[in-house]
Amino acid sequence: MHNDRIPRRTTLAALALPLLVTACGTTTEPEPERAVVEAEQGARARVGDLLVEDAWMPEPANPEVGVVYLSITNDGEYDDALTSVSTDASPQARMHTTRSTESGASVMREVGEVPVPAGETTELESGGFHIMVNDIPEPLEVGDTVAVTLGLKGGAEVELEVPVREMTGGEDDHGDHADHH
């Protein structure tokens, strides 16, 4: 007796082939959302529900070490976080926070992310979260700009041209950063 049936293995392979081809065609990951940079005084950019503004770098007191301050407002319904940072001034850019110990001393430490809760503004400022830029090979002066790229937990990237400005009074004096490498 002759069996005209197609073997089960062949049938399954024939059915799976279109799925495999379709799946292979859709594996490309979407490009991360890029910021829309608004031409205004200082560094400011919007990406999705996030607004990054007031970005600036005080002229470094120690020419090898700088700090970037900014604010990130999350107008969305979901929490986000700053997860990475890079600059053209130095490959050594990291997110830090400064905390006071029980004795009142300020201690700076590197952090893996800076939270940006939904409906809130996160300030990167002296005495709190901030971006340290270490091992700057060329001294930065007032009027220079530093290209800063911020990576966000949601996959978006924000590119800013951050102005170097005069350090004002003692408020923005990052003396606790001067010896940091």
Comparing 180 with 112, the larger pLDDT belongs to 112
Q: Is residue 138 part of a domain?
A: yes
Are residues 68 and 127 in contact, defined by beta-carbon separation less than 8 angstroms? no
Q: Is residue 5 part of a domain?
A: no
Q: Is residue 2 part of a domain?
A: no
Q: Say how many Å lie between the first and final Cα of the chain, rounded.
A: 83
- Report the CATH number at residue 132: 2.60.40.1890
Distance of alpha carbon 61 from alpha carbon 65, whole angstroms? 8
For residue 93, give both structure tokens: 């850019």
Q: Is residue 85 part of a domain?
A: yes
pLDDT at position 21: 41
Give Rg (Cα) of the chain.
24
Residues 6+ apart with CB under 8 A from 71: 52, 53, 54, 121, 122, 123, 124
69-100 pLDDT, tens digit per residue, is 999 999 999 999 999 999 999 999 999 999 88
Q: Is residue 11 part of a domain?
A: no
Is pLDDT at 113 greater than 70 in this prediction? Answer: yes
> In terms of Cα–Cα distance, which of 157, 165, 164 is closest to 45?
157
If one counts the domains in the chain, the total is: 1
Q: Is residue 149 part of a domain?
A: yes
Range of the domain at 81: 36-166
pLDDT at position 148: 96
**pLDDT above 90: percentage of residues in the chain:** 62
pLDDT at position 111: 97
Q: Is residue 16 part of a domain?
A: no
Distance of alpha carbon 157 from alpha carbon 144, whole angstroms? 22
Residues 6+ apart with CB under 8 A from 143: 163, 164
> In terms of Cα–Cα distance, which of 86, 65, 69, 84 is closest to 133?
65
Distances (CA, A) of 83 to 34, 79, 90, 150: 15, 13, 18, 8
50-74 pLDDT, tens digit per residue, is 999 999 999 999 999 999 999 999 9
Q: Is residue 41 part of a domain?
A: yes
Phi-psi region of 135 (alpha: psi -120 to 50; beta: other; left: phi over 0): left
In the 8-state DSSP scheme, what is residue 120?
-
* pLDDT-based confidence at residue 33 (cuts at 50, 70, 90): low
Is pLDDT at 16 greater than 70 in this prediction? Answer: no
pLDDT at position 42: 57
For residue 32, give both structure tokens: 């991360």
